[in-house]
Amino acid sequence: MSIDNEMLKKKLAEFAQEKVNIAFFGPPGSGKSSTINALCGAEVVTVGVNTDTTLEAKVIEHGEVAFIDLPGYGTSKFPQKDFFIKFNPLQYDLFICVFDGKLRKSDTEFFQVITKAGKPCIFVRNKIDEIYDEDKTTDQSQDIIRQDLAGQIGKEDFSLIFICARGDMLTGIEELQNSIISQMYAARKEKYYMAAKVLTEEYLQEKKELAMKCVSKSAKYAAFNGLNPLIGVDAAIDAAIIYNMYENIRKHFDINEKMVVDSILTITTKNFLLKGMSKKGITIILQSITKKLASKSVFKYIPLVGQATAVCAGYKIVKEAGEEYLIACYQAAQENMLRRLNAKKQT
Ligand SMILES: Nc1nc2c(ncn2[C@@H]2O[C@H](COP(=O)(O)OP(=O)(O)OP(=O)(O)O)[C@@H](O)[C@H]2O)c(=O)[nH]1
Ligand SMILES: [Mg+2]
C-alpha cells in the first residue's frame, strides 16, 4: 500500500490517540490480578488462591489505558524463553512489577530486559498489611524493603509504591494511580515517537523508490536523445534534464533546496549541491562526474567505439548525478521528519 502525505498525517494522529498499554509482572501470587481489580475499582480479573492462576495475557481496557495481566514469567508453565515468544512483552509501553517478598531471579532479569528496551517500570510492594513488625515503624520497614529492592535490581533510582490490594483493606491505590498517570505521559510520547519513526521510515522508503524511477527515466532520456558527453571538452548533456530531475526528486520527498543543503555536513558535497542550484552549476557537476567516470572503463573507448558507448556514458552520468542527489534528499527528508517528531516529543 502506498502512503501519501495525508495518510501519513492521519496515521500519526491515530497513534497519538492510542491507549497506553500497561503490563503487570512479578512473582506468582504476589497480587497482580488483585492490583488490576483495585485500580479498576471492580472485579475484572480472577484472583487466585493457588499460584499460576493467570495463564493467558488478559487485556482490560480502562479509560485511556489498557492493563495487561500477564501470567507468571519463568514459572514451570512458562519458562523464560517460551514467555517471550508467546506474549511478546516488549510490545507494551509501561510495566508494573508487583511483588510481595523478594523478587525472583527471573523477575530481575525481566526488569533488565525491559529497562534495556527503554520501557518505564513502577515497582509495587503489595500486601503491606502483612509487613507489620512491632520493633519497627512503617517508615523503617519500608526503607528496608526499598534498600533490599535496590540491591536486587542494582539500581538506586526507581519508583516504588506500597499498597494493599485486598478488596476489604485497599491502601495506596490512589498513589499508584498518580504514579501511573505521571509515567503514562512519557510512555505515550515514547510510543508515539517509536511508531511514528517506523512509519516515516516506511514513507521515505516508498518516496525513495519513486524518486529512483525518476532518476532512471531521466538517465534513459539522456541516453536516447543523444545527449552525450565529450570528455575533457564539455559535458554535452543538457543541464535542463538534471535540473528537472533534481526538482522532481525534491518534490518526491516534499523538501526544498535549502533543506537539502542544510542537512549536508561535508564541505565537498555541500559545494556540489550548492552548485546544483543553477544551470551553470549543473554543468560544473556534469564535468566533475564526467571526470570521475572517465577513470572507469566506460569512457576509455568512446573515441573508438563511438555512439553506442557514448549513449551508455550519457545514461551513467545522469544516473550518477541523480543517485547522489537522491541520497542527499533522502537524508534531508529524514532529518526533517525526525526533527519534527523530536519537537513533538519535547512539548
Ligand atoms: N493479605 C493480602 N493478600 C492479598 C493482597 N493482594 C492479594 N492478596 C491475595 O493474594 C492471593 C493472590 O492474588 P492474585 O491477585 O491472584 O495474585 P497474582 O499475582 O495475580 O497471581 P498469579 O496470576 O497466579 O500469578 C489471593 O489470595 C489474594 O486474595 C494483599 O494486599 N494482602
Ligand atoms: Mg493473576
Per-residue pLDDT of the chain (347 residues; tens, 9 = 90+): 455 667 767 776 776 667 889 999 998 889 999 999 999 988 888 887 665 656 788 899 888 789 999 887 777 777 777 888 888 899 899 999 999 988 888 899 999 999 998 899 999 999 999 987 788 898 999 999 999 999 999 999 999 999 999 988 999 999 999 999 888 877 777 777 777 777 778 888 888 998 999 899 888 877 776 555 544 444 555 667 777 888 888 888 888 887 877 776 554 565 666 566 666 666 666 666 666 665 554 444 444 444 445 556 677 777 887 888 888 888 888 888 777 777 766 66
Residues less than 5 Å from ion ligand 2, measured at CB:
32-33, 53-54
Pocket mutation for ligand 1, best pick of 36, 39, 47, 50 (most atoms within 8 Å of C-beta):
47
Counting ligands in written order, which one lies closest to the CA of residue 29?
1
pLDDT at 287: 66
H or E stretch including 24? strand 20-25
Q: How far is CA 66 from CA 111, 125, 213, in A?
A: 20, 21, 44
Backbone dihedral region of 83: left (phi > 0), alpha (psi from -120 to 50 degrees) or beta?
A: alpha
> Ligand 2 centre from 87 Cα, in Å?
15
Counting ligands in written order, which one lies closest to the CA of residue 104?
1
pLDDT at 269: 60
pLDDT at 232: 43
For atom 9 of ligand 1, the residue with the nearest CA is: 31
pLDDT at 70: 87
Number of residues that this document lists for the chain: 347
> Ligand 2 centre from 32 Cα, in Å?
5
> Ligand 1 centre from 179 Cα, in Å?
21
Ligand 1, CB within 6 Å, residue ranges: 28-34, 47-49, 51-54, 72, 126-127, 129-130, 164-166
pLDDT at 36: 94
pLDDT at 227: 58
For atom 1 of ligand 1, the residue with the nearest CA is: 127
Question: Distance of alpha carbon 333 from its chain centroid, rounded?
Answer: 16
Show the cell assigned to 269: 558535497
For atom 27 of ligand 1, the residue with the nearest CA is: 49
Show the cell assigned to 259: 533543506
Pocket mutation for ligand 1, best pick of 33, 34, 58, 97 (most atoms within 8 Å of C-beta):
34
pLDDT at 303: 46
> With contact defined as beta carbons under 8 Å apart, do 63 and 109 qualify?
no
For atom 13 of ligand 1, the residue with the nearest CA is: 31
Q: Which amino acid is at 135?
A: D
CA–CA gap between residue 231 and residue 19 (Å, rounded): 62
Counting ligands in written order, which one lies closest to the CA of residue 31?
1
Q: What is the CA radius of gyration of the chain?
A: 31
CATH superfamily, region 18-171: P-loop containing nucleotide triphosphate hydrolases (3.40.50.300)
Question: Ligand 1 atom closest to Cα of 72?
Answer: 25
Task: Please report how many Cα atoms fall inside a 13 Å half-sphere around the Cα of residue 41, on the Cβ side.
Answer: 4
DSSP of 117-149: TT--EEEEE--GGG---TTS-HHHHHHHHHHHH
| DSSP collapsed to 3 states, 220-289 | HHHHHCCCCCECCCECCCCHHHHHHHHHHHHHHHCCCHHHHHHHCCCHHHHHHHHHCCCHHHHHHHHHHH
Domain boundaries, the chain: 18-171, 197-346
